[in-house]
A = this chain, B = another copy of it.
Amino acid sequence: MTEQTETTPGWLAPEDLESVRGQLPILYIDAVPVRVDETGVVTRIGTLLRIAPDGTVSRALVSGRVLHHERVRDALLRHLEKDLGPVALPHIPASPQPFTVAEYFPTPGVTQYHDPRQHAVSLAYVVPVAGDCRPRQDALDLVWFTPDEAASPMVQQEMAGGQGVLLKQALAYVGALP
């Protein structure tokens, strides 16, 4: 047990997380950040951009673990602030009902989602953000797409692990799937 574990309830030492990953499904959240107009119509979808050292571009949704003793809505807020910055002003949904549950399996093909590291089960939400988004982590930029662009093969093929499908499911949920 490290000092950090004691001061961060729910935080798990990397070596412990590793050993747990082969034994239990790990609870995640996926958040699809969107811009909406005053009638709630989704006008833009935010995706995180990552450029690998070899120049490969990949895109991802806001995603992360739910910690021990952390509510799902607190996990949503924490991951959105971590990836979009402290003044993104996300509108966390009032209802805990996710638009879908994405089951990432370590074995490809069991579901549409795949995570080679673990069996992760992710509650997926569409989250309107009203403020300024300033990606805080070095390797990440944030790019806003129209619904049509987000569903296009170009964007879809840059998303890994089935997150492209998850993005299309989010578009379907908000009535914006082309």
Contacts and interface: CB of A to CB of B under 8 A. Distances in A.
A5 B170 CA distance: 37
Interface in A10-29: 10, 12, 16, 20, 22-27
A114 interface: no
Interface residues of A, number: 61
B126 A94 contact: yes
Contacts of A128: 91, 94
Interface of A: 10, 12, 16, 20, 22-27, 34, 36, 38-42, 66-74, 76-77, 91-101, 103, 105-107, 110-112, 119, 121, 123, 126, 128, 165, 168-169, 171-175, 177-178
